[in-house]
Structure 1
């Protein structure tokens, strides 16, 4: 791991810890959506910027690792969003990941970091921090979309009662 990758990895770890801490406890799902979408979109933007800022061609292996990482992020995001708990309390929607969601997130992170390690060993310059941030942002954005969809269904069920 190079010195340039270490700060990226620390940023990803800090964001993951903050997001997991927040999503493991019951949190109100804001109507504005910005609270849920802002962080993932920032991670995706920073990841894309870092990937293209290196001015290094990705190559076949780099593109393959990015596609596999994105697919893994989307699958884990859908799974985590589906097991998230959504409740309506006093007219407001609350959500949390719970233990199953934590398990999926931990498994995803272990596999994703393993994929980054494979890329590093294969000498792919794009396998580090930028790809991790892009993948994590895509995962959290997918989770958010599924959770908001569930919240919409919960609100419909609540209004029909």
Structure 2
């Protein structure tokens, strides 16, 4: 691990800790739009910038690992979004991941870090240890999770108005 990679790793770890802490506690959906949308998009933007900033040509291994990471992020995002808890309280919608969602997120992060390690061992220039690929993947995961949670909240609101 180089000195340039250490700050990236610390940023990713800090983001993961903050996001998990927020998503494990009940949050009002209307007031958390900034967290739901902007956070993942900013994370993805920083990751794309870091990938682009390296001016490295992508090899076949990089492309395969980036695609596998993206698919993994989307599958884990859908899974954790589906098991997220959504409640209506006093006319407002609240959500949290709960323990099943935490389990999916932890499993995703372990597999994703393993994928980064595999990329490093295979000599991948971009996907093998740079924080950019991990940030893009994490942002895609959180964005997908958010879309599923908002869909569940919309269905709950529709059911509530039809009663």
TM-score relative to the length of structure 2: 0.96
1:153 aligns with 2:148: no
- Greater shift, 151-160 or 98-107, is seen at 151-160
Aligned alpha-carbon RMSD (Å): 1.1
1:90 aligns with 2:76: no
The whole-number CA distance in structure 2 between the counterparts of 1:153 and 1:111 is: 32
Post-superposition Cα deviations, 1:74-97, rounded to whole Å, max 9, x if no partner, equal 000000000000011111100000
Could you tell me which residue of structure 2 aligns to residue 111 of structure 1?
111
Post-superposition Cα deviations, 1:55-114, rounded to whole Å, max 9, x if no partner, equal 010110001100000000000000000000001111110000000000000000000000
Q: Is this contact kept in 2: 1:88–1:158, CA < 8 A?
A: no
- Show structure 1 runs of 5+ residues with no match: none
Give the 4+ runs in structure 1 shifted more than 3 A. Answer: none
Number of matched residues?
161
The whole-number CA distance in structure 2 between the counterparts of 1:59 and 1:30 is: 42
